[in-house]
Structure 1
Amino acid sequence: MKFVVACDSFKGCMSSVQVCRCIRSGIQSANESHTVYEFPMCDGGEGTAEIFRNIYHGDTSTAQVLDAYGKTIEVTYGIVPEQNMAIMEVASCIGLNMVEREKRNPMIANSRGVGLLLKDAVAKGYKKILLGIGGTSTTDGGMGMLQELGLHFFDASHRRLRAGIYSLGQVDYIDKRHFVDWNDVEILIAVDVKNHLLGKQGSAYTFGKQKGLYPTQLEAVDQAMRHYRDKIYEFFHVDINQYEGSGSSGGIGAVLTGLLHAKMVPGIQLCMQEYHLEDVIAQSDIVITGEGQSDHQTLYGKVPYGVGQLAKRHGKPVFCLSGALGIGYMDLYDAGFAGVFSSADRAMDFMTALKTGPQKLENLAYSITKTIDAIAKMK
């Protein structure tokens, strides 16, 4: 049989390349006659830059930027000189996984580093930028990024504001005289969610808790973001909440789209398109996908959902192998999945799960392949 393995990374444990390799090893250990086609996937989050750099056979460049708390760091991003294109991801400088859980402070985390990253690429002459915006630690509405791109925000007392959640509700005036003029720069944003910026399904309510906000803070942060949206509209005459995906990355995609005319596209769709994945799936027998944790968010633009939809379109059985299963994972069955499994075979602490993850995932792929083979023999 022909297996297509198209998986996202298991954040903090394995890259998408490693995940695909483990599953392939499990399949071929169970039955070496099976053919396995590997497609390391991304959806706009962590690992996006590396995946697309490999797809386009690109090179690398480096930049000095700031992390979410103002520390100077060096990051690497992809370049494709023949296409005059830079490939980068916000997670490289303000990624959620860059900060230990107990040290996260979402109230002061900001996106200045993203602005510096974009400026570095433009200063080096790149006119096309592919930007993955998933996996951030910030909810500052992209204010920090915009400050690095030339905007200045002031409160009602004419004091310049520092980027961060604290400042969103205090914006009274925006000085745009020094805002960058990038009419000749094309920015394509790979986004991994469909949520809008505001409301119960918006940035604060949906992603705030994982970034360190307390449940009691969510309404106030959403209201502050709403004020910020209103001020952006007042000075730029554009509603940054209108775009599907504007709730990703704490508003970074929203302001890039509204103020710099960037285009947001589902990262998984772009990845599948560049791989010509649908053509491969159409000629396959079994499709396997996966991610670090499958839950209610999986159906909102994540890798397993995108891959699963292609498999469903061509009548191929698709299985989801993830590191963990969270609330709402059973909805994947309604979306057409033949099986949804966790590689964790018993209760364990987080560090043990990371250490044993690769072998457990390989074991799971082995067991599923044996089951598939046994069913096939019964027909």
Structure 2
Amino acid sequence: MRIVIAPDSFKECLAAEQVASAIARGWRRAAPADQITEVPLADGGEGTTVALTEARKGELHEVTVTGPLGQPVTARYGLVNDGETAIVEVAEGSGLHCVPANARDALTASSRGTGELLLAALAHRPKTLIMGLGGSATTDGGAGILQALSARLLDTLGQDIPAGGTGLEQLASVDLKPAIDRLSGVRLVVACDVNNPLLGPNGAAAVFGPQKGANAQQVVQLDANLGHFAGLVQQQGFDIASFPGSGAAGGIGGMVAGILGAQLRPGIELVMETVELESHVKGADLVITAEGAIDAQSAYGKTPAGVAGLASKHGVPVIGLAGKLGAELGELHQLGLTAAFSITPAPMDLQQAYQQAEANLEQSAEQLARLLHGLSGRR
């Protein structure tokens, strides 16, 4: 059999390369003669820089930037095509994984580190800059990025507003030209992993704020602050709120498209094109995808949906593996997902699941291979 393994990362647990390798090891234990191709993926969130840079045989660079809560973090960016294309991602400079779960603060977390990462990449004078959204710890509408790019976001006293989404409440005036000029002549393409709007019940604060540490009252406050920011920049002719994806990465999606002129693209589509996944899927007998959680939200721009849609185009069955499996998978099945299985063999807490994820992936893949080969042998 020809097997293509095309997973995303298990967030805060395993990189996509580790997930793919674990599945391959398990499968080979049961079916060593099968031809296996590993194609680690990302959907614009964590792992996008590595996936795209390695697929294009580029170079990864490290730089120290300001983390979400002000602490220094080491972030990576990639250069491909002899430096003509740079690749950055929000998760590297302003990622949720940079902040311990008990220290997350959606009100003060800033995207400044992502802006500093952009500056490091822009120093190489690329013609195109690919930016991955997703996995952010922030809900500041990209204000920190703008400040790092020398935009002025000022309060009524003419002082810089504080970091984070809470600072937007004090915003009285903006000068965006310095940030826009920083990207002059650079084509900015943004890989977006969600379609959520900036504001409202399906917006950046309401949907993603709680996982970043916001309680119900803070969600309301952050949504109002983002609305204030959107209204203020709209007075200068910039729309950051009216389109799908504007709520991605705590509102960074709206800012980069509406102010910096970025082209928003579904992240998984951009990644699949770059790694030439379709060429591997053609003629395959089975595709295995995986993500930390596969649920109803996965149908909207996530890796399992993208892989299922592509494989379905070529009539190839797709099996999904996940640490956590949701109950509503109807839309994923319509897209082409044949079946999905949880890798967790028994009830366990989250920390146990993280620690055993690799072993559980191996075991699940081995059992899956035994099942499929056993069934094919009975035909």
AA aligned opposite 1:139: T
Find the residue that maps to 1:324 and give its secondary structure.
strand
Does 1:231 find its partner at 2:232? yes
The Cα of 1:122 is off from its aligned counterpart by: 1.7
CA RMSD, 1 decimal: 1.8
Percent identity, aligned pairs only, is 36
Aligned to 2:343: 343
8 A contact 2:56–2:81 mirrored in 1? no
Aligned to 1:60: 60
The Cα of 1:23 is off from its aligned counterpart by: 1.2
Does 1:124 find its partner at 2:124? yes
Aligned to 1:254: 254
Aligned to 2:163: 163
8 A contact 2:85–2:126 mirrored in 1? yes
AA aligned opposite 1:231: L
The 1:377/1:178 distance shift into structure 2, 3 A limit, reads: closer
Aligned to 2:217: 216
The Cα of 1:180 is off from its aligned counterpart by: 4.4
The Cα of 1:177 is off from its aligned counterpart by: 5.4
Tell me how far apart the structure 2 counterparts of residues 21 and 178 of structure 1 sit (CA, whole Å): 44
Aligned to 1:137: 137
8 A contact 2:129–2:188 mirrored in 1? yes
Aligned to 1:103: 103
The 1:74/1:10 distance shift into structure 2, 3 A limit, reads: closer
Aligned to 1:17: 17
Q: Report the more deviating stretch, 31-40 or 212-221.
A: 212-221
8 A contact 1:333–1:340 mirrored in 2? no
Unaligned ranges ≥5, structure 1: none
Tell me how far apart the structure 1 counterparts of residues 177 and 50 of structure 2 sit (CA, whole Å): 36
Q: Report the more deviating stretch, 243-252 or 159-168.
A: 159-168
The Cα of 1:189 is off from its aligned counterpart by: 1.1
Find the residue that maps to 1:190 and give its secondary structure.
strand
The 1:32/1:64 distance shift into structure 2, 3 A limit, reads: closer
The Cα of 1:321 is off from its aligned counterpart by: 0.5
Tell me how far apart the structure 2 counterparts of residues 167 and 306 of structure 1 sit (CA, whole Å): 36
Aligned to 1:201: 202
Q: TM-score, normalised by structure 1?
A: 0.94
AA aligned opposite 1:91: A
The Cα of 1:81 is off from its aligned counterpart by: 5.8
The 1:183/1:132 distance shift into structure 2, 3 A limit, reads: same
The Cα of 1:327 is off from its aligned counterpart by: 5.5
AA aligned opposite 1:323: G
Tell me how far apart the structure 1 counterparts of residues 13 and 158 of structure 2 sit (CA, whole Å): 47
The Cα of 1:29 is off from its aligned counterpart by: 1.4
The Cα of 1:330 is off from its aligned counterpart by: 5.6
CA deviation profile, 1:233-263 (whole Å, cap 9, x unmatched): 112x121113321111111121111112111
Aligned to 1:302: 302
The 1:233/1:197 distance shift into structure 2, 3 A limit, reads: same
Q: How does 1:261-340 map to 2 (within 5 A)?
A: 261-326=261-326, 328-329=328-329, 331-340=331-340
The Cα of 1:227 is off from its aligned counterpart by: 1.6
Find the residue that maps to 1:256 and give its secondary structure.
helix
Aligned to 1:370: 370
CA deviation profile, 1:61-82 (whole Å, cap 9, x unmatched): 2323200112233322211261
The Cα of 1:200 is off from its aligned counterpart by: 1.5
CA deviation profile, 1:7-42 (whole Å, cap 9, x unmatched): 011122221111111111222211222211111111
The Cα of 1:296 is off from its aligned counterpart by: 2.2
Aligned length: 378
8 A contact 2:83–2:124 mirrored in 1? no
Q: Report the more deviating stretch, 123-132 or 172-181.
A: 172-181
The 1:275/1:176 distance shift into structure 2, 3 A limit, reads: closer
CA deviation profile, 1:317-364 (whole Å, cap 9, x unmatched): 111011222453465334432211111111112222222211111111
Tell me how far apart the structure 2 counterparts of residues 128 and 64 of structure 1 sit (CA, whole Å): 22
8 A contact 1:288–1:321 mirrored in 2? yes
The 1:186/1:92 distance shift into structure 2, 3 A limit, reads: same
Aligned to 1:3: 3
Tell me how far apart the structure 1 counterparts of residues 18 and 175 of structure 2 sit (CA, whole Å): 47
Tell me how far apart the structure 1 counterparts of residues 194 and 138 of structure 2 sit (CA, whole Å): 16
Aligned to 1:189: 190
